[in-house]
Structure 1
Amino acid sequence: MLEKINLTESNKSLDLIHTASTSKTFVANDFSKEDYHDFLDIAQEIQEKYSFNDHELIATFPDKEAAMKAITRTIDLHIMPLFCVFYFMDFLDRANIGSATLGGIHSDLHLTPAQLSGVISAFYITYIMFEVPSNIILKRTNPRTWLSFIMLVWGVITLCMAFSSNFQSLLVCRLLLGAAESGYVPGILYMMSQAYRPGEFGVRVAILFSMATISGIVSGPIAYGTAFLEGVRGLHGWQYLFIIEGVPTICLSIISYFYLFENINTVTWLTPAQKALHRECVHAQRDSHHTRMSFRTLIKAAIDWKTCLFSVVLFMNVVNLVSYQVFLPTIIDGFGFTVLTTQLLTAPPSLVATLAVIAGGLMIDKYQNKRGMIMSIGFLIASFGYMLLLFVQGRWGMPFSLFY
């Protein structure tokens, strides 16, 4: 059994941990390397005492489910608005190259069509390369520090894109932007998985991902406004686009450092009893436990058939989403609309997509045993919309098909 003893000697207070099973005593704030190895041997005993305290705290709730719902609402209030704003800026900064193209970046920097395509694709090359390494670092370090750091980096890079003077400088910025943003979304999802039960996860991920489509609603009007800044202080409108979207990202990275949490058990806005109940309810519904990241566990996860299947599904979904988000202004412009009208017409399809994403998340949480069917219906509707793009004629028929 563990005992915590407080000794006051020579005006100096020491907290000692004593274990009867090993007859060892450790100074809590002064472990030597030898003590550390001995202490690992009694970790199970510490865990048993820790769990006992949890049960005592949980017993203070007369209705655990009602208390857990209140805890979930508190978590929603504290983390979801911030996560949504972060993901909004993440997608806004990666997709703004489409609006910048419509604003004339290719002509001002004398880019050929091949160079423009290379600049757009460069982001995803480094995104793929650094996504896994970035999240290995996330798990080995402090999530709050790492996510805030990479957000600061991509904000600075977005700002630097405003002052690109040629193809080479713009290409380097896009490559660095992909590397910086690669770990952010998986990192946010990892933190959310520690905060919510599986049955609460779907709708919140849907709300988070709806920020990508909301960024499509906002990016058009922003690009529309920056078109009127052409020539102000010697800058082009597309340069103001990168400045307007880069500076807030830098400011948000500073806020995120002070607001994000390392672990849900370290937050100050939940009581010890609430944290104990949260631990019990969240981890009771999860099959996996916290394990140390290693190359072996990484390979095991990569070759799992479920990982492969969902990777294919995600790949197909992201190809459509990214193509839609980046090239939507160009597609609409190709039907003869003015630049300003085109920027505004990008908003309505994104609004419909936002509502559809949230509705899908609600349905997935409500009908958890029919998630595959709900996903398939969504893919069928999207496929119908792409078929309309091929066959619908007329200036206004094409924007209508984009709603699917």
Structure 2
Amino acid sequence: MAEATVKGGIIDNVSQLSDAQKDPSALREQKLVDLEDPDANLSQEEREAIDRRLLWKLDLRLVPWLSLLYLISFLDRTNIGNAKIAGLTKDLGMTSNQYNATLTIFFVSYSVFEPFTNILLKRLRPSIFIPLIMVSWGICMTCMGLVKNYSGIMAVRWFLGLSEAGLFPGVGYLLSCWYKRSELGVRMAIFFSAAALAGSFGGLLAAAIAKMDGIGGKSDWSWIFILEGLATILVGIASFWCVYDFPDQAKFLSQADRARVLRRLALDQQSSAAHEDFKMDYFWTSVKDWKTYTGAIIYMGADGALYAFSLFVPTIISELVSDLEKICYSSIRAQLLSVPPYAAAAVLTVAIGFIADRTRQRGLCNIAVSIIGMAGFGMLLGCESAGGRYAGIFLGAMGIYPAIANTISWSSNNTEGVYKRGVSLGFIIGWGNLNGIVSSNIYRDADAPRFYPGHGVVLGYLVLFLFGGSILQYFLLRRENSKRRRGERDASIKGLDESQIELLGDKRPDFIYTL
């Protein structure tokens, strides 16, 4: 069979397809006919101008606010690292192992509940679900500033993980239902760059709040939790008006714009924006898909490294402060030194998003940034000078943060169907976050100042799972695309009716995977 041209993830030249492949193509064409085309009488230039204005409208409504929510989320889950060097463990009489346990318990509840949150988000609607969980974790965060002992902070961290579980997979899924596959990467990158900015902002904020030590009879670490928790509650309340639902329900769009969004997604071979009733078939389709597991391996490599890095960078840098300047320990100086690496990571995260969208080579982008991260943690392990190790922190951040957003975009691009995509992202992200249990126990005070075991474990995650997993998935997807172009998967839809073909989603023989 002659090779068909590929654009936007689908095979365009239907005349070159086999009879078996024409069935899903015809089904997709029928869906487009069923969708209203408000621009039917316009020229191509006029259509493109309308499309650019529509995309800009979506970006302004969706991306900035959702990015703010994730900045707050990541700040709230990792500010315990800033609180530690501000005196948290000393005031509560906690040992190093007890501190690590408070990090671990967050990831237990966070990862266990994550796979199910996208089903709740779909049923309750994003404009209800996301604000509710935000207010919940804001209350938990405020309570962290009021605890008096180790048991209290353990209980609050459990509920914090439970409350935050739905945000990241939910927003990743929500954005994938609004944008074409070639547009999602940079939006996810901008969204996730908020995590890196949270690291920078967290250091600056903690340094400022340190001046409140003793006010109201509370330590500066207490005020870190209380002020950030109250801010989260206020933003959560505002989110009832600022978070929007799926395209077919969005109230800020006119009827014509809703039709335009649904048509552009249908042309991109996506049905995830449309209404669909939940069936267990979608769950099992995700469980049986090998891409769910390769995606989980890759995300495990990025996420395990991410949490080790973000939770312990203030501690690592606090050791570097004394090595660099041979001065008395200064928690404020350590907070401020943690800012630049996160800022560099945020810039590279967005840059990789642009590059991956333009080239559609998400796997190669993952491989490239993982090499940067491996070099960084190699420097942390091997460099004797404090300056060299500080440079390693820069490279480590730049090798971890871009891979998170890129991996989620890669998995979203290659998973089709409303609930299948939601379930798959829940499993992938949930498994990745489960590795936070490991990450929160590998940096021990006894290993200071060089932290060889911690750096070694993170390096292992980057090499085996992020780098190795990305290579594995890249070549498996490439081989599968070749088989589909040659018509070797055509037999999979013989004898199936239209509804059964649609249920196949990305298993249809005319669906071409993003590499």
User: Structure 2 length as normaliser, TM-score?
Assistant: 0.66
**Aligned to 1:232, which of 208, 211, 215?**
215
Partner deviation per Cα, 1:79-127 (whole Å, 9 max, x = no partner):
1110110010010000011001111110111111111110011110101
Matched residue SS, 1:54: coil
**Aligned to 2:286, which of 292, 301, 310?**
301
Matched residue SS, 2:58: helix
Q: What does 1:10-49 align with in structure 2 at a 5 Å threshold?
A: none
Partner deviation per Cα, 1:115-141 (whole Å, 9 max, x = no partner):
111001111010111101222211222
**Aligned to 1:391, which of 355, 363, 382?**
382
Which one-letter code corresponds to 1:278 in the other structure? Answer: V
Which one-letter code corresponds to 1:314 in the other structure? Answer: Y
Which one-letter code corresponds to 2:91 in the other structure? Answer: D
In 2, Cα distance between the equivalents of 1:373 and 1:395?
32
Q: CA deviation at 1:332?
A: 0.9
In 1, Cα distance between the equivalents of 2:258 and 2:271?
19
Would you say 1:274 and 2:238 are equivalent positions? no
Aligned partner of 1:320 in structure 2 is 305
Would you say 1:381 and 2:362 are equivalent positions? no
Aligned partner of 2:181 in structure 1 is 198
Q: CA deviation at 1:266?
A: 3.3
Classify 1:323/1:49 alpha carbon distance in 2 versus 1 (closer, same or farther; 3 Å): closer
Classify 1:273/1:334 alpha carbon distance in 2 versus 1 (closer, same or farther; 3 Å): same
Which one-letter code corresponds to 2:349 in the other structure? Answer: V
Partner deviation per Cα, 1:205-226 (whole Å, 9 max, x = no partner):
0000100000011101111112
Aligned partner of 1:23 in structure 2 is none
CA contact (8 A) 2:71 2:194 kept: yes
Matched residue SS, 2:253: coil
In 2, Cα distance between the equivalents of 1:168 and 1:193?
40
Q: What does 1:1-400 align with in structure 2 at a 5 Å threshold?
A: 54-55=36-37, 57-59=38-40, 61-62=42-43, 63-289=46-272, 290=274, 291-335=276-320, 336=322, 338-368=330-360, 370-400=361-391
CA contact (8 A) 2:75 2:202 kept: yes
Matched residue SS, 2:147: coil
In 2, Cα distance between the equivalents of 1:98 and 1:128?
20
Aligned partner of 2:445 in structure 1 is none
Q: Which has the higher strand share?
A: 1
Unpaired runs of at least 5, structure 2: 1-29, 323-328, 396-515
Q: CA deviation at 1:272?
A: 2.1
Larger RCO: 1 or 2 (CA < 8 Å, sep 6+): 2
Q: CA deviation at 1:154?
A: 0.4
Q: CA deviation at 1:287?
A: 4.4
Which one-letter code corresponds to 1:401 in the other structure? Answer: G
In 1, Cα distance between the equivalents of 2:117 and 2:184?
23
In 1, Cα distance between the equivalents of 2:32 and 2:303?
43
CA contact (8 A) 1:152 1:254 kept: yes
Which one-letter code corresponds to 1:357 in the other structure? Answer: T
Greater C-alpha Rg: 1
Would you say 1:402 and 2:384 are equivalent positions? no
Matched residue SS, 1:381: helix
In 2, Cα distance between the equivalents of 1:156 and 1:312?
33
Which one-letter code corresponds to 2:337 in the other structure? Answer: L
Matched residue SS, 2:298: helix
Partner deviation per Cα, 1:160-182 (whole Å, 9 max, x = no partner):
10001111110011111111111
CA contact (8 A) 1:139 1:293 kept: no
Which one-letter code corresponds to 2:96 in the other structure? Answer: P
In 2, Cα distance between the equivalents of 1:61 and 1:243?
55
CA contact (8 A) 1:58 1:276 kept: no
In 1, Cα distance between the equivalents of 2:313 and 2:31?
58
Classify 1:246/1:236 alpha carbon distance in 2 versus 1 (closer, same or farther; 3 Å): same
Partner deviation per Cα, 1:53-80 (whole Å, 9 max, x = no partner):
713x232543222211210100111111
Classify 1:61/1:90 alpha carbon distance in 2 versus 1 (closer, same or farther; 3 Å): farther
In 1, Cα distance between the equivalents of 2:284 and 2:255?
37
In 1, Cα distance between the equivalents of 2:41 and 2:142?
51
CA contact (8 A) 1:223 1:343 kept: yes
Q: CA deviation at 1:284?
A: 2.1
User: Structure 1 length as normaliser, TM-score?
Assistant: 0.84
Which one-letter code corresponds to 1:383 in the other structure? Answer: M
Unpaired runs of at least 5, structure 1: 1-47
Partner deviation per Cα, 1:259-316 (whole Å, 9 max, x = no partner):
2222223334333222212111112213445543334422320231111111100011
CA contact (8 A) 1:197 1:282 kept: yes
Matched residue SS, 1:177: helix
CA contact (8 A) 1:193 1:201 kept: yes
Partner deviation per Cα, 1:2-46 (whole Å, 9 max, x = no partner):
xxxxxxxxxxxxxxxxxxxxxxxxxxxxxxxxxxxxxxxxxxxxx
Partner deviation per Cα, 1:168-207 (whole Å, 9 max, x = no partner):
1100111111111111111111221121111110000000
Matched residue SS, 2:350: helix
Matched residue SS, 2:394: coil
In 2, Cα distance between the equivalents of 1:262 and 1:111?
43
Classify 1:365/1:50 alpha carbon distance in 2 versus 1 (closer, same or farther; 3 Å): closer
RMSD after superposition = 1.8
In 2, Cα distance between the equivalents of 1:134 and 1:172?
21
Worse-matched range after superposition: 104-113 or 269-278: 269-278
CA contact (8 A) 2:62 2:244 kept: no
In 1, Cα distance between the equivalents of 2:139 and 2:260?
41
CA contact (8 A) 2:131 2:239 kept: yes
